[in-house]
Every structure is written in C-alpha cells, then in structure tokens.
Structure 1
Amino acid sequence: MGSVFDSIYISRDGSVGFTEKRQKPSALPVEEPTIAVFWQPATLGNVWYRETSDVNIMNLAHNEVNIQYRYGSQFRVRSVVLITWEGVKDPLLPETEGNTFQLALIIGDSMTFAHFIYSKLNYNTNAIAGFSTGESSYSLPDSATHDAILLSEKSDIGIPGEWLFRIDGIQIYLCGAGFKGLECIESCAPSQWFNDCSKSCHCDGGDSCDQENGRCPNGKCSPGWTGEPICDEDQDECEMGIDNCPNEQPDCLNTPGSFLCLCFEYDEAKQKCKNSKPAPPSAPIPVDVIPMHPTFTRKPSPPKVTSSPRNRFKSTTHAPKTTFEMTTTAFVSTSTRHLFVTTTTMTTTPSACSKCDQNAKCTNGICTCFNGFTGDGFRCYDVDECQIPEAVCGNHSICSNTIGSYECTCHGGYRFEDGKCQDVDECRESPKICGDPNKGTRCVNKIGSFECLCKDGYEGDPSSECKDINECTNVDACGPNSQCTNTEGGYECECQPGFERIAEGAHCTDRDECAVEPCHPAATCSNTRGSYKCECIDGFVGDGKTCHETILYPISNDSIVIPRSWDSNTAIPLSKEITVFGKNIQRFT
C-alpha cells in the first residue's frame, strides 16, 4: 500500500480510527480503516491511553504473542500502546453498570499485534468487533448481534475474553502457523502453511511442508508445481509446450498444478478440431477452493463465586415501681370458748337452787358459775378472756370478748388454718387479682396483703392500665453502632453489620473481619469501620473474594484520559512509526 497514516483517533464508543472522519457504529466493512474493539454508542466512564516500554508489560505482551504465534526470538517487543475503556455506559441507561475492555497494540520491529481484552461486558447494543482495512474486513464471532456480549466468554488463545491478532499486513491473521479456525486448534492440511493456513505448498508425494516457512522436506515439488523449496508456483505446461495434447483435443488450458486438453474450435465439415496451438488467451476458469469458515463455540462463564455474620442480643429495662395497697374483706373464725371461773361453794338447802345466777348451775344444792363467768354462783360476772396476759388467739388475729366467751378474728390477708392465722397468697389463688397479666401487670404477695405493680418494661397505674415503655426513645438504650427495636415489655439491641458485642452489657465495637480471612488468597484484606475491603493483588482481577489472573494490562498513573465529549481527540507521539493494515502510523490522537 505504501500509505502513511498521520494519526490514530481514539473514540469513547470503543473504536480506533485512522482518519479524522467520524463514523457511527456500523457493521463491517466500513468506509474508513477502523479497529472496532467493542464499537457501540457509549457515554461516561474513562478512556485511558499511553505508550509504555515497561519491561514487565513488554514481557507479558511478548509471552502472549509467542503462545499464539511461536515466533520466539524472531519477534521483539519495542513498545506497547494501551487503550482502556473503563466503565463506559449505555447512553440510554447511564445508571446501569458499564463495560470495561482494553486494546493493547503490541509493536515490534516489523510486526504489530492487536490484543483485545474484554474484562467486563455488562451492556450490548449489537456492538461491532473486528477490523476494517478499507479493502477488506474481519469480524469477530457474533459481531453486530445481540450475542456480541459473549466475546468475554470466548477466545482464540484459550483465555476467556482474550483475542490476539496480527495486523501489520493487509490480511488480518487470527492463528499462528499451522493452525486455523476460530479457536486456532484445527491443524492445517498437508498443502497449507503459515498463519491461518493461508498459504499453499505442493510437495512431492503429497508430503506436508514446514508450517512456518513452507519448505518441502526434500525440496522437491509435486508435478505441475515449481518454486522450490516451497513449491507454490504453478507450472504453465501449455506455455512451456510440454502438454502433449492429442490431435483430437489439441488445445491446452493451464490449471493449478496441471493442464487440460480441449477443443476450442470444431470443424463441422471435417468433423475434427482445428489445430490452433497454442491456445488463445482466455479468462481464468474458476476452480474449487476449500472455503475457510471459522466455527464458533461458546464456553460457559466461570462460576461466580458472595455474607457477614450478625450478633443478636436482648436486654430489658427496669421501670420505676408504682405500688398501691389493697385489702380484702376479712372473714371471722371463732375459737373454742373458755371460761375462767372462780368458784365459791355454798351449802344450801334444795330450795336455795332457785337463787342461783342465771349464768350458773345448781348441782346438789350448790350454785356454780358457767365457764366464762366468775362469781359465787348467786352472782356470776362475765370473764373478759381478751384481757388475759397471754393472748388466747395467737398472732395476726383480733380477740373480741362476748358474754361468757370470746371470738378470734384473723387479720385481713390471713386465714385460720392448722390452729393459727396464716398468710393468704392472694397472687396464687387469684392470678388476675391485679388485672390481666398479659397487659403488663403483676402481683406481688406480701405478709398479710399483696401489691399490684406494672411489669418491667411497662409504666402507669396498675389499677387502671400499664403501658409499654418504648426504651428505644433513649439514645443510650443500646449504645453506639447498634440498632434498637422496641418489643412488648422490653426491647432488643442488634449490632449493626460489621460490629459485635464482645461481652454482656458492653457496647457494639467494630469487628475485624480480616481475622477470619474472608478474602481470596490472591487478595489483601483491609478492615474498615463496620466492614472490610478485599482487593486482588497485582496480576489478578476480581472482587477480592474471588480473584483470577488479570486479563487487563495495568493502568498506570502516567496514562492520559480523553475528555468526556464525543468528538474529542488528543495526540500521543510514538517513539517510532508502526505498521497497521500494511500502512505506517506516526502518532495517536
């Protein structure tokens, strides 16, 4: 071609162009030379680019090329141009997660490679992926379809999401020498060699030629071919006059590796072909050629591997007590009557009995006061047993004198049992004496009485209503870094995520999640207040809980980010011009 590109234009829409003319994403081929990495409308995100000669990156790029193309020391990386589209988003849905992908232009002394790296593809509007040279094009599988997002799962080098191409020539090469097909695992036929099996050889005896240089093993060509040792030049037997065509078919027509004897003109009068050697020039006659169609397969995404434990505790408060006294109606229990009598015996005649006191009895003419009375029988007086120095009724009772006897009455809250007044447990005998226990009241038995209180966690007058206390209105109920939940008669304290209570009654303190190694072995763990952070180390990508070897070249601090406008461009001076699509490029913009 011999042309020189002055600049390369990097666009936020996932394409790299070579002319100032802007193009909308379109299925390949397109009018202007274009590298379409993941070409579709995009907004926001960052687009980074730089040229680097960092030894680590160049070694990584060199290894990628040699795994696929096996050039060994024949290829030396001079520099790598890295263009990274990070988090670019769908203009119609800018709130959704964006795409991250990368183009690494691996520049050698005489060869240039394009390394497509699809790290995260979250949206797709029939994105285009491939190359358009102006004269020809190459499209990746599912380009310009709704399945283009699957490029992150496929590969031609065995690593999902990675694609490598040689692009310094007019033709784009996907596979190294000796292989063909989408995954570059199909071997070339014996007569094929070079990248993508794109060149032919014709060795003597049908032997296979060297897959890298095309040389035949014995340097001899199959009949009809020349150009030793590769034997890729067709021998024109017709031109050389070695066709030996018979008179019946005297006209010779050359074919690849052979010739045909035909009759171009037939003399009807003489009933034979006119001898018209050599055969006149004619248009090429098409021959069967084995088409090369890549076959596409899909590989399933690697399984993704994602929670922090939460401690829970309960506590209750103690509400101030409000008490009141109640008494019950006492009942009366009467003890056995006892009479304390001082008897005076008088001897009388039978007629004297008529003179005994009404509270006395006459026995054999003798008047004796009844029990509970005292006197000489003729005059009997009531005895006040309650005045006897030693109590006749016992503790917790009241003595009441009666004519000729006395009564014992137990105090309120006591009952006469087993010969004495004993305390009555009103709370046990009448569970609802203070109201419904389910509504916050409780009964407390006391000696000779009982007390109604509001349960812990309730407040109010138990004689009317006990109401639940909302302990969570007190900001100090659970302490810092916790969540208070009011419950009926109490409350619950739950530490916030990332915090824990290390002792009963203690406040919630930050939990060091890193102590239990929650991150992937290839990640570092950083404890933060109430949480933690896992980050994959250099050379690995992932969310930190799962890490795998990175497929992105690192974005350095010296990378340049293009402005956030659709038509922005910035020049990058290159150390040397590079060759792309058979043309030289001097700078990027």
Structure 2
Amino acid sequence: CRDSTLCPAYATCTNTVDSYYCACKQGFLSSNGQNHFKGPGVQCKDIDECSQSPQPCGPNSSCENLSGRYKCSCLDGFSSPTGNDWIPGKPGNFSCTDINECLTSTVCPEHSDCVNSMGSYNCSCQVGFISRNSTCEDVDECADPRACPEHATCNNTVGNYSCFCNPGFESSSGHLSFQGLKASCEDIDECTEMCPINSTCTNTPGSYFCTCHPGFAPSNGQLNFTDQEVECRGVLFKCKEDVIPDNKQIQQCQEGATVKPVYVSFCAQTNNIFSVLDKVCENKTTVVSLKNTTESFVPVLKQISTWTKFTKEETSSLA
C-alpha cells in the first residue's frame, strides 16, 4: 500500500498478509461493482445520493450532490433545527417542518387576517375592507345608494357602516341603527300628541304642522307652526276704535268733512261698516247675535257693486 498507484482516486488501500485490496471511500462506488478490488482499470465514481428515492434529505427539502457527499437545505416556508446547508456527519438530525408565518404580526397588513398553510401563508382583507396595493383599504359602503333605505342617512365607519332614519321617521326594526334594506324608515305620525288644544295637526312625510282653529290665533303669530310652546288663543272681537286704519281718507269720512265727489261712494261704504261695529260694540258684555249682525251688513252688501270703482288702496282699507 506504500505504492499510491495501486488503488484509484477516492479509494483506500488495505494491506493484508502477502497482499492488499482497494475499497472506494464513502460516497463513491467501484466501477466493477465490488466493494473490495485489485488491479488497474477499476475507478471509484461519485454516488449521486440526491437521485435516490426517497432522496436522503427528507420531505420539503432540496438536495445538492457534492463529490462524495451531499448537502441538505429546507425549501422556503420550512426550517430545520440544524439549519440549512447540512452535510451528513454534522451534529443533529436534519428535518424540515413548516414555518408558521402568521406568528409574526407584521407579515400581513393592518385590517387583514393571516391564514397559514404548508410552506406558505395567505393574507385576506377583513369584511369591510378591500385589497389595494398590498394594503387593506376601508370600503365606503355609503357610496352605494342601496346601502340604506329611503328616508335614512348612511354613516360610514372604519370597516363598517350604519343606517339611521332621518328626523320624523323611525326604523321598522325598532333599532336606532341598522344595516341594509331589511329595515325601512317609516313616517312618525306626530299628530297623536304634538299640537296644542284648539288646533288641528297635519301630518306630513317626516314632519307635521299645527294650525289654530277658526276664532283662535297662534301666540307666535305664525299661521302654521311646530313649536310645542305655542298656544292657540281666542281672538278678541275688535271694535271700530281697534280696526280703523291710519288712512287720511277714512279719517275724513269719519269726521264728516266735505269730501270730493269721487270719494262719496267710498265714504258711504265705510260709514255703513262702522255703523255695524258701533252697534255690536255698544255693550261689550252683551252676547253678539249672529243673525242681527248679519242683517246689519245688508246695506254694506248692497254697495258691493261700487267696489269695482275703488282704488287698490281703498279696497284694502275696506277689507
């Protein structure tokens, strides 16, 4: 065996009594298939362990053949306690197990869920978010006119939204806030309790208004009102002194002054009206007779045909 040419490369020489033999080193195989051999012509060829089935590195790994040995590394998404680039003879047992990437909080963007799988993982945006440029952006559900029913306001929130019925309407579900079209916004009939006595309530979609009965006037001076503090108060009958307008022509008629011919009909009409008021107001404690008062207006009504001759100002004063 002192003669290095007796055995081929990658072989060891073993001396025996009166002889010797060659043996290929681990990771090599003799070209004649014998473990022990002599003589020229035999070579030690590298064994490709990675071509064996199953391959020696185990599942979820890659095998790299080297001269007389091989190297093992785990595939992406897997790891071994020995680390990668493991070669037989190194300490530990090479074995690839799945890496749970979802244990790392930064692997997926905000507002997403991480789902681990063998050798990989998947990020999916949560409900109410949509994937855009590797982030999960809020979905504005209120941009869809069908998100809420008629007479409702849509309020978008991060990852969600809510519907609220407009003032004057209430949800058919009985809940203050809701989603979708399963509930509707129904008109509230405020006329069950919103108007004062001596008034009529008129309900409208989403609102209402109050109107005082004839003979009553609202304390705020508005014909239609919704203020619950308003009262409908009885209208006091006004006598001549209360209703006589600040009109120079009417004052001349009352004073009995000489008037121009064009004002004769006008003064006659005003005097007829004021004579009725004088009779009614002679005794303010007396109950007014509707029959007698109506009969008193006969002279006034007979003169209506002359009203067409009056100016707008005169007609307004008479009214």
TM-score bracket relative to the smaller structure: 0.3 to 0.5
TM-score normalized by structure 1?
0.26
Which of 1 and 2 has higher RCO (CA within 8 Å, sep 6+)? 1
More helix by share: 2
More strand by share: 1
